[in-house]
Amino acid sequence: MGKRIYNFNPGPAALPLPVLEEIQAEFLDFRGSGMSITEVSHRSALFDEVINDAKLRVTRLLGCGEDHEVLFLQGGASLQFTMIPMNLLPDDQVADYVNTGSWSAKAIKEAQILGKEVKVVASSEDRDFTYIPKNIIFNENAAYVHITSNNTIRGTQWSRYPDTGNIPLVSDVSSDIMGRPMDLAPFGLIYAGAQKNLGPAGVTLVLIRRDMLDRVPDNLPIMLKYTTFAAKNSMFNTPPCFAIYVVQLVLKWLEETIGGLAKMEQINKEKAALLYNYLDKSEFYRGTADKEDRSVMNVTFRLTNESLEQVFIEQALANGLGGLKGHRSVGGCRASLYNATDLKAVKALVSFMAEFERRYG
């Protein structure tokens, strides 16, 4: 077997090694069943234990108690972009959206395709999405306010959520869920593709506040209604069992090995600070996002000499540091420091960056 690399992929991303080892160890015989987890029926006590434990850990980690329903869906955040207005935005109402980059823009576009009325109440497009808009005025009659809590591509993150009064917040939290504690009270719904901080690609976590379920129209396709999943413990049809199982193990690792989200946030801040401090001192590299709105999860940067970026990325990989290429829509470099990427990995990265700077600077 080869050596494991330090993985800075933006998603699918690194998973905790002890979780991968546990999956591998029990892959032919899941918890004494004589079957692989991939062969176990979703209509079995064995799988009930997996999904129910995963749900319980979500509510415990986020401290949201019984107010929110935990759902496991398919289709990624991209399917949520259409399910949210379909389920939660009546035709005679408007929803407010904040545009902080590609993912927000896609969410807005999907609502518009449905013929729904959308108001873009703030945007950071004027400065290439390098910041988070402040002091936003929301429509007091908005059905909800949609934000993207962390912008994977641009490396920005809401450090504090906007105050929307009584209007429910709806947020794509794909790339920072479980990276820090979160007060769910103002949120009508949050959603996250698992492949960044939660598990493998193929499952989407949705937390919906119970009162929001009352908005779901009757006449939607069954697989596109939140109420279908809420009524059937996310198992109206066969769920993505393996992905849910990995999520369960990742949540267990978060609770039992890391010690919860406050601890996780502390570690994540330390990791990000190490890299940002290095970037700020260097004239060879520069961070691309406004300091106050920088993401703790995705550190986007450029080399002052952009023509060296390709060599940088290649040599990093040759040195066991993978996934440092920026998103194809913006170029440059990006280090995603999700929960499973540990301090050791970031130290190795900074030390490689310093070495590269010495050689090419």
Cβ proximity to a copy of itself, 77 vs 264, nearer residue: 77
By CB under 8 A, residue 202 contacts a copy of itself: yes
By CB under 8 A, residue 23 contacts a copy of itself: yes
Helix or strand holding residue 346 (H, E): helix 343-360
Residues sharing a CB contact under 8 Å with residue 348, sequence separation 6 or more, in sequence order: 6, 320, 321
Beta bridge partners of 122: 98
Q: From the list 94, 201, 267, 311, which residue makes contact with a copy of itself (rule: CB under 8 A)?
A: 201
By CB under 8 A, residue 20 contacts a copy of itself: yes
DSSP annotation of 9 reads -
CB of 283 to a copy of itself, least distance (A): 30
Residue 72 tokens, joined: 């496991």
d(CA 346, CA 8): 9
CB of 252 to a copy of itself, least distance (A): 16
79-118: b (≥16 Cβ within 10 Å) or e:
bbbbbbbbbbbeeeebbbbbbbbbbbbebbebbeeeebbb
CB of 226 to a copy of itself, least distance (A): 14
d(CA 270, CA 108): 34
CB of 159 to a copy of itself, least distance (A): 26
Q: Please give the distance of CA 278 from its chain centroid, rounded to a whole number.
A: 25
Q: From the list 56, 185, 232, 237, which residue makes contact with a copy of itself (rule: CB under 8 A)?
A: 237
CB of 328 to a copy of itself, least distance (A): 7
Q: From the list 135, 141, 166, 219, which residue makes contact with a copy of itself (rule: CB under 8 A)?
A: 219
Residue 303 tokens, joined: 């080399």
User: What is the largest distance, in Å, between two alpha-carbon atoms of the chain?
Assistant: 64
Q: From the list 53, 60, 75, 186, which residue makes contact with a copy of itself (rule: CB under 8 A)?
A: 75
User: Does the active-site annotation cover 103?
Assistant: yes
CB of 77 to a copy of itself, least distance (A): 7
If you search the block for the tokens 């920072």, which residue do you land on? 176
The torsion region of residue 296 among left (phi > 0), alpha (psi -120 to 50) and beta comes to alpha
By CB under 8 A, residue 246 contacts a copy of itself: yes
Identify the active-site residue in 103, 116, 293, 325: 103
Residue 15 tokens, joined: 């998973």
d(CA 139, CA 305): 44
By CB under 8 A, residue 13 contacts a copy of itself: yes
Q: From the list 133, 168, 323, 332, which residue makes contact with a copy of itself (rule: CB under 8 A)?
A: 323
Q: What's at 295, amino acid-wise?
A: S
By CB under 8 A, residue 81 contacts a copy of itself: yes
d(CA 296, CA 299): 7
Would the CA dihedral through 265, 270, 273, 274 be positive or negative? negative
Binding mask 164-193 for a copy of itself (x = CB under 8 A): -----------------------------x
3-state secondary structure of 194: coil
Window 107-136: residues binding a copy of itself (CB under 8 A) = 109-110, 113-114
Cβ proximity to a copy of itself, 207 vs 244, nearer residue: 244
By CB under 8 A, residue 46 contacts a copy of itself: no
If you search the block for the tokens 């190490």, which residue do you land on? 274
Residue 337 near residue 299, CB atoms below 8 Å: yes
Identify the active-site residue in 55, 116, 158, 172: 172
Q: From the list 181, 186, 260, 322, which residue makes contact with a copy of itself (rule: CB under 8 A)?
A: 322
Count of residues of this chain found to bind a copy of itself when the rule CB under 8 A is applied = 72
Window 25-44: residues binding a copy of itself (CB under 8 A) = 27-29, 32-36, 38-43
By CB under 8 A, residue 98 contacts a copy of itself: no
Q: From the list 223, 258, 274, 311, which residue makes contact with a copy of itself (rule: CB under 8 A)?
A: 223
By CB under 8 A, residue 350 contacts a copy of itself: no
CB of 66 to a copy of itself, least distance (A): 28
Residues sharing a CB contact under 8 Å with residue 307, sequence separation 6 or more, in sequence order: none
- Active site positions, annotated: 103, 172, 196
